[in-house]
């Protein structure tokens, strides 16, 4: 996956890399200036998109690079709400350790 010249293209490439689990592509695109909090066409953050697709290494890379764990998806949910909706205590604890706010209001959604 090559890095595109424009920020918009890098963000699109990042969304694709996150949803297909290309951790090296994610790291390269972030280094090239892609928005770590970009949103998919469905309005999910790339962190939530990677988590929803089961790409644990991509999730770890995004967290290590400083993804906003409190960023809201289009429907108002956060990554912590996605973890709770799946009953995923391990991911929820990782998000809390990264600063997730338990007081953000929104809908918990099962994914």
pTM strictly above 0.85? yes
Q: Is 72 helix (H, G, I), strand (E, B) or coil?
A: coil
Tell me the residue range of the domain where 18 lies.
7-97
Residue 81 pLDDT more than 50?
yes
Mind listing the pLDDT tens digit for each residue in 25-40? 999 999 999 999 999 9
Mind listing the pLDDT tens digit for each residue in 16-26? 999 999 999 99
In a domain, 109, yes or no: no
Q: How many domains does the chain have?
A: 1
pLDDT value at residue 43: 96
Q: What percent of the chain has pLDDT over 90?
A: 86
- CATH number for the domain harbouring residue 32: 1.25.40.20
Average pLDDT of the segment spanning 44-58:
97
């Amino acid at each position: 996956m090559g890095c595109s010249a424009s920020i918009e293209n890098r963000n699109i490439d990042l969304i694709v890399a996150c949803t297909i689990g290309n951790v090296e592509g994610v790291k390269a695109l972030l280094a090239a200036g892609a928005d770590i909090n970009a949103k998919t066409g469905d309005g999910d953050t790339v962190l939530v998109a990677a988590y929803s697709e089961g790409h644990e290494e991509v999730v770890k890379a995004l967290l290590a690079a400083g993804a906003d764990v409190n960023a809201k998806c289009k429907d108002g949910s956060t990554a912590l709400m996605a973890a709770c909706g799946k009953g995923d205590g391990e991911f929820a604890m990782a998000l809390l350790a990264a600063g997730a706010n338990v007081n953000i209001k929104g809908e918990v959604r099962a994914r």
